[in-house]
Amino acid sequence: MKRIIALTLCLVLCMGLCVNVFAANENNTKGVVFSVELDKPNLTVSDEDQTVRMTFTANKEFETCSVSYTASTDEFPVTALKGGANMPAATVNPVTKMLSWNSNDGNVVKMQEFGIVDVKIPANTPAGTYELGFSKLKLSENYGADIWESTATAYATLTIAPAPVAVSNITLNKNTLALTVGGSETLTATVYPENATNKDVTWSSDNENAATVDANGTVTAVGEGEAIITATTEDGKYTATCTVKVSPAPVAANGVTLTPDKTTLNVGEKQTLTATVLPAYATNKNVTWVSSDTSVATVENGVVTAVGKGTATITVTTEDGGYTATCEVTVKLPVSAVTLNETSTALVVGNTKQLTATVVPANADDSTVTWKSGNTNVATVDQTGKVTAVGVGTTTITATAGGKSATCTVTVTAKPVPIEAIALRDAAVSVGGTIQLEPVFTPADTTQRDVVWTSSDRTIATVDANGRVRGVAEGKVTIAVTSTADRSITASCTVTVTKNLSDDLVSIIGALGNSSLPFNDVTVRDYFYDAVKWAVDRGITSGTSRYTFSPDAPCTRAQVVTFLWRAAGCPQPTSKSNPFTDVRADDYFYTAVLWAVENGITNGTSAKTFSPDATVTRAQVVTFLWRANGQPAAGNSGFADVSADKYYATAVAWAVSQRITTGTGFGVFSPDAACTRAQIVTFLYRAN
């Protein structure tokens, strides 16, 4: 590698090199003394291929005669000691180990003027210390016709420094530094590469109001703020920085407050307490928390958790100074639930019922029960839970404790009014026709209206449980009605069964197309004729009036479950528990609803409502019918408006498979359309 050598002429050694001066008196009969001295005994170069200027002074003792002298460069060899290595265009004396260049090379040694010689250091000279000088420096003295010659030698020390290594980078031992006012810390700079020639670094701060830095990298915090300390290499001006953040001198804590200092919680609740260390500008605001009773309340980072009933003291303590503050925590056990011994009950006006409330848990705080009636005109309740029936109707009794409530539905009926007598009117009916008998009760407000119907001859006419008579054969029959409350109270009438109807009925039948039904809105040509006739014959329905069936009228939820119940033979439910507040014991559909709930046909529209007057949809009707038939499995209905994820999908598919329905046309079922009375009896008829 080519060496870069810079010329630097300086005195390196204090003692210097003793110039070796000697004189020879060759052919000098007059004893001429000649000596050579170099002006700089020590020379240093660091740049390659540089020229060293050597100045020498030749001194001589002259006699009183005139003298002239000359110096020739022909015999100016440049020599060096301690070489130790071959150098280009040079020879090494094997005995003296001296390195020599031929002085005849004008590019090596050149006499600028007498006493000034420029010596060119060859390129690629290895670094080291050498002796550089002149040997056999010859001077001639002319004295008239006499010529005297003398030689002298002089050396100087030449140091060839290694080629400098440039700096490539600089780093600091820290990139950030946090100090408080008055503090200090010394940063360490590392210059790369490790063998860089010049590792000198200068230090500076961009904000000496915050922090200063000395020549050794010691940073001193002066004032609050931020300063950037920069280390810069002398060689290459590479930089590295450290951000110093100076904070104020520590401020001691002198107290602490706790907010709130008193609180009440329920078991399971949490609340965050706020600790304020004083003064507001205190340096160390760290605190610790402790509870006096962890079975009552625990605390973590100021968050209090209520564990159990009781009282505990929460204490906060400052890390600096040990100052304390407290909060008294009262933990209550809340009421989780209130239950009543009955959720529904029936009373007669004037009667009473004792309700009992149970508070959970038994040891809960605020466990006092308060009672309230939703309608005091129906029933009242005292603060012991005693219910008194006041008037006919339904109301809700509510028991409340600790924010939790339980209710009981109370149905109040009038006091029983004993039946005194029953009366019936004679009637007539055609063969195959039906007629509804209406008993007349005495007194009119009697509450004992349950009766039993019998026919004296079922081959002539039959009578169902509701008093509907069906003509079987021509003749007369006695229809009797008996009070179930008092079997001794009975009445009877004569029903005449004829082949021909009265003139009025004849005209109606003619208009209906010879139908055997009494309804003027049902003809034999209607798709639902057979279904209506079947339903009437079995006492499932008697129409909406004496001569109307209202086939296109929408059906209610109460009517649907009643139809289903009657079609099933009017079975009696095993349970008398009624969960619905909108279904009363005296409703015609009461037993049907209980039966439907018991058999899983419907669960009502909510936990406490049945919505008896709500219109049913086609989807709901086939679902009721499907459930009544045991919920059999089925495939796909094929209707475009019945997706597989609908609750009624299987019910519709079953109804299609049983040919109960074929939809409303054009490949649709219309699940959300209101179901008519004609459709319902048709569905029932096809399913049986």
Quick one: pLDDT at residue 111?
46
Question: What's the rounded mean pLDDT across residues 389-404?
Answer: 92
Quick one: pLDDT at residue 306?
94
- When mean pLDDT is compared across 94-108, 399-413, 600-614, the lowest value belongs to 94-108
- When mean pLDDT is compared across 149-158, 326-335, 386-395, 498-507, the lowest value belongs to 498-507
Q: By three-state DSSP, how is residue 640 classified?
A: coil
Rounded to the nearest 10 degrees, the angle between the axes of helix 557-567 and helix 590-598 is: 70
Question: What's the rounded mean pLDDT across residues 554-580?
Answer: 89
Residue 74 has pLDDT above 90, yes or no: no
| Start-to-end Cα distance in the chain | 114
Which pLDDT band, with edges at 50, 70 and 90, does 102 fall under? very low
Question: What's the rounded mean pLDDT across residues 154-160?
Answer: 68
Locate 239 and state its tokens.
């930089």
Tokens 């006695």 sit at which residue?
478
pTM to 2 decimal places: 0.34
Measured from the Cβ of residue 226, the count of other Cβ atoms closer than 10 Å reads 12
More confident residue, 109 or 2: 109
Indicate the Cα dihedral angle 559, 565, 566, 568, nearest 10°: 150
Please name the amino acid found at residue 468.
R
Residue 62 has pLDDT above 70, yes or no: no
Residue 626 Cα distances to 57, 210, 231, 653, 654, angstroms: 136, 88, 91, 10, 7
Distance between CA atoms of 603 and 579, rounded to whole angstroms?
10
**CB-neighbour burial class of residue 278 (10 A; exposed 0-12, middle 13-18, buried 19+):** middle
Measured from the Cβ of residue 268, the count of other Cβ atoms closer than 10 Å reads 11
CB–CB of 307/314 below 8 Å?
no
Which pLDDT band, with edges at 50, 70 and 90, does 372 fall under? very high
Question: What's the rounded mean pLDDT across residues 93-116?
Answer: 43
CB–CB of 212/145 below 8 Å?
no
Locate 465 and state its tokens.
């449980």
Bond into 443 cis (ω within 30): yes
Dump pLDDT digits (tens) for 443-494. Answer: 877 878 889 999 999 999 999 998 899 999 999 999 999 999 899 999 999 9
Residue 503 has pLDDT above 70, yes or no: no
CA pseudo-torsion sign 602, 605, 606, 612: negative
Q: What is the DSSP letter of 97?
A: -
Residue 237 has pLDDT above 90, yes or no: yes
Please give the angle made by the CA atoms of 382, 383 and 388, to the nearest 5 degrees. 20
Quick one: pLDDT at residue 8?
26
Distance between CA atoms of 222 and 31, rounded to whole angstroms?
79
Residue 507 Cα distances to 470, 495, 499, 510, angstroms: 20, 22, 15, 5
Which pLDDT band, with edges at 50, 70 and 90, does 23 fall under? very low
- When mean pLDDT is compared across 117-126, 138-147, 214-223, 609-618, the lowest value belongs to 138-147
Rounded to the nearest 10 degrees, the angle between the axes of helix 649-657 and helix 618-628 is: 70
Quick one: pLDDT at residue 625?
92
Quick one: pLDDT at residue 235?
93
The overall average pLDDT reported for the chain is 80
Dump pLDDT digits (tens) for 343-361. Answer: 999 998 899 999 999 999 9
More confident residue, 111 or 484: 484
Residue 670 has pLDDT above 80, yes or no: yes
Please name the amino acid found at residue 289.
W
Dump pLDDT digits (tens) for 536-566. Answer: 888 888 888 877 888 888 999 999 999 999 9
Dump pLDDT digits (tens) for 625-642. Answer: 999 899 998 888 888 888
Which pLDDT band, with edges at 50, 70 and 90, does 200 fall under? very high
Residue 320 has pLDDT above 70, yes or no: yes
Quick one: pLDDT at residue 71?
38
Phi then psi dihedrals of residue 22, to 5 deg = -145, 160
Quick one: pLDDT at residue 46?
61
Quick one: pLDDT at residue 164?
81
Distance between CA atoms of 513 and 526, rounded to whole angstroms?
10
Which pLDDT band, with edges at 50, 70 and 90, does 36 fall under? low
Residues ≥6 apart with Cβ < 8 Å to 1: 163
- When mean pLDDT is compared across 42-46, 243-247, 384-388, 540-544, the lowest value belongs to 42-46
Which pLDDT band, with edges at 50, 70 and 90, does 135 fall under? low
Q: By three-state DSSP, how is residue 262 classified?
A: strand
**CB-neighbour burial class of residue 443 (10 A; exposed 0-12, middle 13-18, buried 19+):** exposed
